[in-house]
Chain A
């Protein structure tokens, strides 16, 4: 992608099914063995509706979206994840967003964007990001 980014540009939806297998991958991949992320009974006893995905998984999904949206040589500089609801096994997680500003700082070409992650239950996660674009992007 070589187009010029501008405020208001849409960052198209990317979806990922939150299967039980993926929750196992997330436990091992993020090395987070807190039982709410792998033990259905423990999760329900603690007030959740089931096994839910952790913060690191959400960061990883946002990281993938940044590469898809801004290119393989885009480098994130800041990522803020605000947890407003849980992302449960059995749901589908979707991220989409909008470019908020494009600027230059200390020789870096930066894009600020906001995105939302949602499941079938509605928005679960607010995302703000600042991404450094590669040359020519």
Chain B
């Protein structure tokens, strides 16, 4: 499949239905995140300090953005990534290549974010030292309960069959 098909092309830019994040943005998960990278910034948990800054209150680390959409492993939800519609069965391996996050507003505790997802780009078939496949970019958009965009996450993956695997 050296060139993407019309069916694949038609998926580009098609936004999924909005879905709620599994958990509201919350200080417990934020503190686990800060512990993970040893981030002592008081703006994430010290209300008095945070309220004294131009950011006007505590919020979860902005870089947590993508974590809020991670589905529970139990019970399994019914959200299917738009990637599944690409039908790249001949390409069993996936590796993350690039992630770009843009942050519009602080992630306030108590807000349940709403997420929409789309395939933003699919490359024609490429061969790298890993193997042969397609670079696929997904874009997730996160909104707060006021329907404001709080951030976006663009993720470029290389979906491929390893070099030496003829895909049969």
Residues of A that sit less than 8 Å from B by CB: 16, 22, 25-26, 28-33, 46-47, 54-57, 59-64, 67, 72-73, 75-83, 134-135
Given contacts A63-B62, A73-B43, A73-B55, contact A29 B98 (CB under 8 A): no
**Contact B39 A67, beta carbon cutoff 8 Å:** yes
Are A63 and B42 interface neighbours, CB within 8 A? Answer: no
Contacts of A134 in B (CB 8 A): 53-55
Residues of chain B with a CB closer than 8 A to A62's CB: 63
A30, B35: Cα distance in complex, Å = 12
Asked if B70 and A31 make an inter-chain contact with CB atoms under 8 angstroms apart, the answer reads yes
- Knowing A72-B41, A75-B62, A80-B100, say if A57 contacts B67 (CB, 8 Å): no
- How many residue-residue contacts, CB under 8 A, span A and B? 110
Q: Interface residues of B: mostly helix, strand, loop or mixed?
A: mixed
B39 surroundings in chain A (CB, below 8 A): 60, 63-64, 67
Asked whether any CB of chain A lies closer than 8 Å to the CB of B33, the reply is: yes
Q: List 11 A-B contacts (CB under 8 A).
A: A30-B36, A31-B67, A55-B96, A57-B37, A59-B63, A59-B65, A64-B39, A67-B43, A72-B43, A73-B53, A134-B53
For B103, the chain A residues whose CB sits under 8 A away are 75-79
B99 lies within 8 A of chain A by Cβ: yes
Residues of chain B within 8 A (CB-CB) of A47 are 93, 162
Closest to B158 in A: A83
Q: Nearest CB to that of B101 among chain A residues?
A: A79
CA A75 to CA B55, docked complex, whole Å: 9
Contact A25 B38 (CB under 8 A): no
With a 10 A CB-CB cut-off, give which of A16, A55, A57 has the most chain B CB atoms: A55
Tell me, rounded to whole Å, the shortest Cβ–Cβ distance linking B142 to chain A. 14
Q: How far is the CA of A67 from the CA of B66 in the complex (A)?
A: 19
A16-B38, A29-B36, A67-B41 as given contacts; A59 in contact with B101, CB under 8 Å? yes
| Closest chain B CB from A94 CB (angstroms) | 13
Q: For the complex formed, measure the closest distance between the CB of A68 and the CB atoms of chain B, giving whole angstroms.
A: 8
Residues of A within 8 A of B32 (CB): 25, 28-29
How distant is the Cα of A22 from the Cα of B36 in the complex, in angstroms? 6
Q: A31-B67, A59-B63, A134-B54 are in contact. Are A79 and B37 (CB under 8 A)?
A: no
Q: What is the chain A residue whose CB lies nearest that of B52?
A: A73
